Amino acid sequence: MTDPPAIEFAHVQYRTTGNRILLNDLSLSVQRGEILMLLGASGSGKTTTLKLINGLLQASEGQITIDGKPLQDWDLIRLRRHIGYAIQEVGLFPHYTVRDNAALVPRLENWPPQKLKARVDEVLHMVGLPPQEFAARYPNELSGGQRQRVGLARALAADPPILLMDEPFGALDPITRVALQREFKQLQQRLNKTVVFVTHDVGEALLLGDRIALMESGRLSGVFAPRDFLESSDPAVKPYVEAFRAMQQVFD
């Protein structure tokens, strides 16, 4: 038997307590080691999809399976420590230093101090925040982009096999963003994690994704290989491709 997909959605619906349907009939699977890009307009349900994966929200209908095991059979605490999550609003602890924020999950998992320190130094370097300069600072002593990178470090620190990343490079200047995208791509070739990566940026989706899932008002419009995405005649895809091409023409 082949490996089960790392993440599988079967006909998932999510309704709010007020009975608003935010996601409808979502079926999707993410293979182990794959980077799936979630692309879609603001309010299309990307963040909601991520929150369903780590159990912050519960599906109203349908079935979500993680590593072959139905979500409801997982111990939620274990599941969440198995999944790194870089949150859109970041949500750093304001009373923790950068080091303590980044160390959160390994500390919950009782890593020995030596290993913990080495790992936190490593991830802080990885996200471009040298520990000698940044480790002792508090979040209110950082810029928005620096905070976002601490959020990223926190998601990576415990080396989880699955990563959820909600516009992790959104608040970064283009130079830092490209550097981190490159770093991420190299890292991925080494570590082979399963990643669901939310972005608004078609260029980023094409650059980083193994596949691109396009969402539109709570539904999945389709899943494409990056190459097919640019050629697709799907009416949902076209506006994105046109916008992307228009952008490129400006530079040509």
| Least distance CB 43 / ligand ATP (angstroms) | 4
| Least distance CB 146 / another protein (angstroms) | 15
Q: 212 and 186 in contact (C-beta within 8 Å)?
A: no
Q: 120 and 111 in contact (C-beta within 8 Å)?
A: no
| Least distance CB 168 / another protein (angstroms) | 14
Of 128, 139, 135, 160, the residue nearest 89 (C-alpha): 139
Cα separation, 228 vs 212, whole angstroms: 10
Q: Is 13 in the site for ligand ATP (CB under 6 A)?
A: no
Residues that bind Mg ion (CB under 5 A): 47, 88
| Least distance CB 34 / another protein (angstroms) | 22
- Choices 12-20, 72-80, 122-130, 205-213 (CB under 8 A): range interacting with another protein: 72-80
Report the residue from 16, 58, 72, 143 that binds ligand ATP according to the rule CB under 6 A.
16
Q: Which 44-83 positions form the footprint of ligand ATP (CB under 6 A)?
A: 44-48
Q: Is 93 in the site for another protein (CB under 8 A)?
A: yes
Q: Is 147 in the site for ligand ATP (CB under 6 A)?
A: no
Widest Cα–Cα separation across the chain:
54
| Least distance CB 191 / Mg ion (angstroms) | 25
What does the block give as tokens for 145?
Answer: 């982009």
Residue 26 buriedness (CB in 10 A; 0-12 / 13-18 / 19+):
buried
Q: Which 159-218 positions form the footprint of ligand ATP (CB under 6 A)?
A: none
Q: Long-range contacts for 168-175 (Cβ within 8 Å, ≥24 apart)?
A: 168/86, 168/197, 169/204, 170/88, 170/200, 171/144, 171/145, 171/147, 172/145, 172/148, 173/145
Which residue ranges make up the site for ligand ATP (CB under 6 A)?
Answer: 16, 20, 22, 40, 42-48, 88
